Structure 1
Amino acid sequence: MKLPPYAELLKLTVESHEDGAAPILAMPFESDVLGRPGFLHGGAIGGLLEMAAIVALHDALGNDDARVKPVNVTIDFMRGGREKTTRAQGIVTRLGTRVANVEAVAWQDDRDRPIAGARMNYLIARS
């Protein structure tokens, strides 16, 4: 799976891709994503969530050569991300012909204790 160029900046990798589930992305901790000492920058977390949502949406679209454009993004920061690998996964909650709704969640050690979550709406432009 080819990730968007911004994913390369964050050094994101596809960690797993189970049948029927969206891929899980992993972002290693490095000085490039450092915010205040000992914590991830909120922008890096937001970028990871956005990439997870886009990857999930493209996975749901399959071979459709559609372009997606974010219309609305809401991010909830729940706890500080520490100096360790952060994972995220997107979930397409609605896939229409012109609009898609996607949720994404980011976590570190325990998936049941997320550090951030997002809700995003995308406009779909089909060829």
Structure 2
Amino acid sequence: MGQTMNGFHLPPYARTMGMEVDHVEDGGVPVIAMDFAGRVQGRPGFLHGGAIGGLLEMAAHAALRAELDRQGSAFRIKPINISIEYLRGGVEERTFARGEVIRAGRRVANVRVEAWQGDRTRLVASSWMNFLLAPPKEN
């Protein structure tokens, strides 16, 4: 299992990229953070777009899992697609991302995610991510 805070587990990929649950907001929604390091650098002094995309995806998963847990649902989460808008270059500082579940139906969920550094009103990137909600595996 990945790092945990208040019961939220991040996968090994997140740990490899230096991501962690920074804190939990608004009824249990985790905010995921990633420090700047060589492993997430693209061009000199800036975050790699793939690292930003990975952070957005982890925040979407965490927000949806928190919502499903709140509902008492054991659905498995399967990504369908992600659409990312890169709004400005991420620089050499801690980056945060938080997802908001827009809809969690019986088969599909839609999550909006925003990433920022320092000033939450100046976004680095945003995304929409859609998930298939599958019944839990039976052993």
Q: Which runs of 5+ in 2 are unaligned?
A: 1-7
Counterpart amino acid of residue 43 in structure 1? G
1:9 matched to 2:24: no
1:2 is displaced (CA, Å) by 1.1
Q: Which runs of 4+ in 1 moved over 6 A?
A: none
Which of 19, 26, 40 aligns to 1:33? It is: 40
Q: Report the RMSD for the aligned CA atoms in angstroms.
A: 1.1
Letter in 1 for 2:68: L
Any conservation in 2 of the 1:38–1:82 contact (CA below 8 Å)?
yes
In the TM superposition, what is the alpha-carbon distance from 1:11 to its structure 2 partner? Answer: 1.3
Q: Tell me what 1:44 maps to.
A: 51
The TM-score, its normalising length taken from structure 2, stands at: 0.88
Q: Distance in 2 between matches of 1:47 and 1:3?
A: 12
Q: Trace 1:8-87 onto structure 2 (pairs within 5 A).
A: 8-62=15-69, 63-87=72-96
Provide the secondary structure at the position in 1 that maps to 2:14.
Answer: helix
Return the structure number with greater strand share: 2
TM-score by length of 1: 0.96
Answer with 10-19 or 78-87: which moved more: 10-19
Alignment: residue pair count: 127
Relative contact order (C-alpha < 8 Å, sep 6+): which is higher?
Answer: 1
Structure 1 gap ranges (5+):
none
Name the CA shift for 1:44/1:71 in 2 (closer, same or farther; >3 Å).
same
| Percent identity (aligned) | 53
Q: Which amino acid aligns with 2:41?
A: L
CA distance in 2, matches of 1:24, 1:2: 12
Where does residue 113 of structure 1 map in the other structure? 122
SS at match of 1:47: helix
How many angstroms apart in 1 are the aligned matches of 2:45 and 2:129?
28
Bigger drift between 51-60 and 14-23 goes to 14-23
Question: How far did 1:13 drift?
Answer: 1.0
Q: Out of 104, 107, 114, which is 2:113 matched to?
A: 104
